[in-house]
Copies of this chain bind each other. A is one copy, B any other.
Amino acid sequence: MLYREDDIQNMDQRYRANFINSLSGFKSANLLGTKSTSGQENLAIISSVFHVGANPPLLGMIMRPHTVPRDSLKNIKDTGIYTLSAVGSEFTEAAHQTSARYTDSEFTAVGLTPTYSATHSAPYVAEARLRIGLEVKHIEKIELNQTELVIGQVVEVYVDNSVVSVDGYIDLEHLQTACISGLDTYHKSSRIHRYGYAKPHEALAKID
């Protein structure tokens, strides 16, 4: 079926939110960790993290001003730092529960454990097997819909080096990292193939 512009405009707001949030495909599942200037820890599920570049190492994310991560955004602006902890497939329920409107720490409320590195003062999720520390480099408002684009530079990464391949690839599947579809559906992955560098008129190598 072909949905046209009018069909989309005429969708009920909640229906459209589910429909449009499904379109981009599977999304990464991360917990965004921040701390307020008064020391309050904050944790929020976020599915909009994306790769911006490897050198310098940059990650972007989209923050909607009227949803729960608004405390996170304030903390990021105030402190200049944040963390991303990859959601493991065994704690998707706790991760999703962080989207409730808590007034105190989401860590305590959902039963996840804050942890810190010696060199970064925003909280990580101890249960996460991949943890990324970032410093804010750029924040701008997307005028089309008043969301905010946040770009941060990776300043530290915690991961067991046994899952890092000789060429730097991190085996997220071995880490049992979850992914998200739509607004609220969590998935595990199973590998199809890892492919080699593609060249014209040559069959693609499988490097599993």
Contacts and interface: CB of A to CB of B under 8 A. Distances in A.
Interface of A: 1-5, 8, 11-30, 47-60, 62, 64, 84, 86, 89, 92-93, 96-102, 109, 117, 119, 130, 132, 137-138, 142-145, 147, 149, 151, 154-161, 164-165, 167-173, 177-179, 181-200, 202, 204, 207
A165 B18 contact: yes
Given A22-B169, A25-B177, A172-B22, A53 B147 contact: yes
A185 B194 contact: yes
Integer count of this chain's copies in the complex: 2
A204 B191 CA distance: 29
Pick from A23, A109, A194, A199 the residue with the most CB of B within 10 Å. A23
A32 to B, nearest CB: 12
